[in-house]
Amino acid sequence: MGVGDRFNWHTHADHQLAWAPSGVLTVVTGAATWVLPPTRALWIPAELEHETVASSRATLRSLYIHPESWPIGWVDPTPVAVNPLLVELISYLGAEALDALRRQRAEALLVDLLEPAELATIELRLPQDEPAREVAQRLGDNPSDGRTLEEWGRDVGASGRTLARAFLSGTGIPFGRWRTMVRLQAALPALAAGGSVSNVARLVGYKSTSAFVAAFRRETGITPSAFVWGPKETRYTPSGE
């Protein structure tokens, strides 16, 4: 998949395990957006409407599992850790010539290998008030913009106090936290694409790496490194194929 390529909203009759051994894969559902580095795959339940987008050039591999033969009852999309054995099993199960008995045995092993994993997700609402919405959209395009609400107000024709009220009422969070969240949202695909934590921190507007790491952990519960590589016990280096 090239950058920006997408499979528009669709469903599958089977469960799907979506994974990109290289590049960054984004899966969007009605409830969340999942940005997947090569160390994460996403379990997508059968009949769940979703779309798949390549945030960078990506190689998409998917497994499809018949629901009636599957013992795991996950009803929501579930990120799973990708380790070397799972990589080999995905390749094995993806072979068209695999007979039914071998597929059954391999799927039984797949059950044992699918371990839910932490994955940072950032969801943001936009304010409905037009001047505040313009600020939000422009920050989405350039999250490193560090202007205060008073400075933004002179640009969009509203007072800083009016913008502050509009952000709080329209998004449920104060402007300062909203800007933090939009910066972290922009950081996810950059981290997943292999950017260093320090470079990504600067890219999205942080003056220090430590401040970025602290904000990331506070809002997602994990560090930027854990988002990319997973827990130390499950880490592996993608082949980049």
pLDDT tens-digit map of 119-150: 777 778 889 999 999 999 999 999 999 999 99
State residue 169 phi and psi, 5-degree precision: -75, -30
Q: Residue 203 corresponds to which amino acid?
A: L
120 within domain boundaries? no
| Domains of the chain: total | 2
194 within domain boundaries? yes
Instruction: Please tell me whether residues 173 and 135 are part of one structural domain.
Output: yes
> Which pair of structure tokens corresponds to residue 48?
């769940």
Give residue 192's domain range: 130-221
Instruction: Please tell me whether residues 82 and 169 are part of one structural domain.
Output: no
1 touches 36 (CB < 8 A): no
Final residue of a domain: which of 113, 140, 164?
A: 113
CATH (domain of 135): 1.10.10.60
Instruction: Please tell me whether residues 64 and 135 are part of one structural domain.
Output: no
Instruction: Please tell me whether residues 94 and 170 are part of one structural domain.
Output: no
Instruction: Please tell me whether residues 24 and 81 are part of one structural domain.
Output: yes
188 within domain boundaries? yes
* Largest CA-CA distance found in the chain, in angstroms, rounded: 69
Instruction: Please tell me whether residues 15 and 93 are part of one structural domain.
Output: yes
What's the whole-model pTM score?
0.72
Q: Is 18 exposed, middle or buried (0-12, 13-18, 19+ CB in 10 A)?
A: buried
Instruction: Please tell me whether residues 106 and 134 are part of one structural domain.
Output: no
pLDDT tens-digit map of 80-115: 989 899 999 999 998 888 898 999 999 999 999 998
Q: What is the pLDDT of residue 181?
A: 92
233 within domain boundaries? no
Instruction: Please tell me whether residues 206 and 156 are part of one structural domain.
Output: yes
Sheet holding 6-10, edge to edge: 6-10, 50-54, 25-28, 33-36
* 241 residues of the chain, pLDDT tens digit each: 655 577 889 999 999 999 988 877 888 888 788 888 888 899 999 999 999 887 666 788 899 999 988 898 899 999 998 989 999 999 999 888 889 899 999 999 999 999 898 777 777 888 999 999 999 999 999 999 999 999 999 999 999 999 999 999 999 999 999 999 999 989 988 888 889 999 999 999 999 999 999 999 998 888 998 887 765 544 455 554 4
